[in-house]
Each structure stands twice: as C-alpha cells, then as structure tokens.
Amino acid sequence: MRKILVLVLLGLVSMMALAACSGGGSTAAGPGDVARGKGLYNQKTLGPKSTEGCVSCHVYDESGGKAEKAPYTKGTGTRAASRVPGMSAEAYVRESIVKPDAYVVEGFNKGDMYQFWEKDLTPQQMNDLIAYILSEK
Ligand code: HEC
C-alpha cells in the first residue's frame, strides 16, 4: 500500500515539473508561425506590460508614410541576411529584437527600440515574430 502511495506521489511530482517547464521555459517553444507572427506584429500593444507594439514604430513600407521612428518592415527578411557578416538572417532578426543595440541600423539611434522584448514575450511569440519578419522579403 505504501509503495503505491509513493509511486502516485512520484507521478504527481514529475507531472508538475513537466507543466512548469512548458510554461515559459526557453526550449519548449515550437517553430515559428508566420500568420501568428503577423498578428502579434500588428497588435497595438504587446506583453504583460501592454508595451506599445511593433507597428507603433515600424511602418510596413512607403505607402504607410516615412520610416521616421524605425526601419520599414518590408524587405527586412532580405536585408537581414547581409546586415552582419557571418550572421544568418534568422540570428540577425532574433538579435534585433532581443538586443536591439547590438547592431543599430543607419539613421536610427541606440536605445530607440524597446529593450525588453525577450522578457515580455514567450519563446513561442519570439519564434512567431521572427518567422513573420523573415517572410517579409
Ligand atoms: C519604440 C519604437 C520601436 C518599437 C516599439 C519596435 N521597434 Fe524595432 N526598431 C526600432 C528602431 C529605432 C530600429 C532601428 C535601430 C536598431 O537597429 O536598433 C529597429 C529595428 C528593428 C529591426 C531591424 C531592422 C533592420 O532593418 O535591420 C527589427 C527586425 C525590429 N526592429 C523588429 C521589431 C519587432 C518584432 C518589434 C515588436 C516586438 C519592434 N521591432 C518594436 C524601433 C522600434
């Protein structure tokens, strides 16, 4: 009888551990989804602090006005491949969101982009956003 109780307890503990891992762990996220990423990118606010979303600074292309606050979104997927020598498009886009000041696009300033997306967004949301931006050739 005691053995069964121990087994049940062990099972419960491991289930709880698994649940904890899937809730915001860094490796639990699946591949990025372009449509979901587009939805996130176009949200007015993002994250638990309702930070101004990407489109509050990034304009899609010339038809949306001048790229005053941030680079145009269109073409980022293409530019990303050659921004930093030796860095893949995906790695560049990820870095641009996680550590915007690591590479500052000409004509813009250090610190202009919000610096805490990695904390505010889930790993899955990050993957989705990156997939969308990479698809914008
Ligand atoms: C407060 C304004 C602001 C917000 C909000 C913002 N960005 Fe930016 N972003 C910038 C600025 C300014 C730059 C250019 C300076 C730099 O490279 O850090 C930039 C650069 C980028 C680049 C690199 C573009 C290139 O041509 O190399 C990517 C990718 C990017 N942002 C993605 C995002 C995503 C995704 C979001 C939303 C989660 C977002 N940004 C939200 C201001 C913003």
CA of 130, closest atom in ligand 1: 35
CA of 83, closest atom in ligand 1: 27
Q: Whose CA is nearest to atom 11 of ligand 1?
A: 70
Q: Whose CA is nearest to atom 29 of ligand 1?
A: 93
Query: What number is the average pLDDT over the span 29-33?
Result: 96
Centroid of ligand 1 to alpha carbon of 125 (angstroms): 16
Q: What is the CA radius of gyration of the chain?
A: 19
Centroid of ligand 1 to alpha carbon of 97 (angstroms): 7
Own/partner pairs, 40-47, CB within 8 angstroms, 24+ separation: 40/125, 40/128, 40/129, 40/132, 41/73, 41/129, 41/132, 41/133, 46/117, 46/120, 46/121, 46/125, 47/117, 47/120, 47/121
Answer yes or no: is pLDDT of 44 > 60.
yes
Which of 42, 50, 54, when mutated, tests ligand 1's pocket best, judged by the most ligand atoms within 8 Å of its CB?
Answer: 54
Query: What number is the average pLDDT over the span 112-120?
Result: 96
Ligand 1 neighbours, Cβ below 6 Å, are 41, 46, 52, 54, 56-58, 69-71, 76, 79, 83, 93, 96-97, 100, 103-105, 108, 112-114, 117, 129, 133
**pLDDT computed for residue 28 by the predictor:** 75
**pLDDT computed for residue 29 by the predictor:** 92
Torsion of CA 27, 30, 35, 136, to 10 degrees: 60
Query: What number is the average pLDDT over the span 32-54?
Result: 98
**pLDDT computed for residue 122 by the predictor:** 97
Query: What number is the average pLDDT over the span 33-50?
Result: 98
For the segment 82-96, what is each residue's pLDDT rounded down to a tens digit? Answer: 999 999 999 999 999
**pLDDT computed for residue 16 by the predictor:** 57
**pLDDT computed for residue 78 by the predictor:** 98
Residue 97: band (very low, low, confident or very high) from pLDDT cuts 50, 70, 90: very high
Answer yes or no: is pLDDT of 11 > 90.
no
Residue 55: band (very low, low, confident or very high) from pLDDT cuts 50, 70, 90: very high
Query: What number is the average pLDDT over the span 76-80?
Result: 98
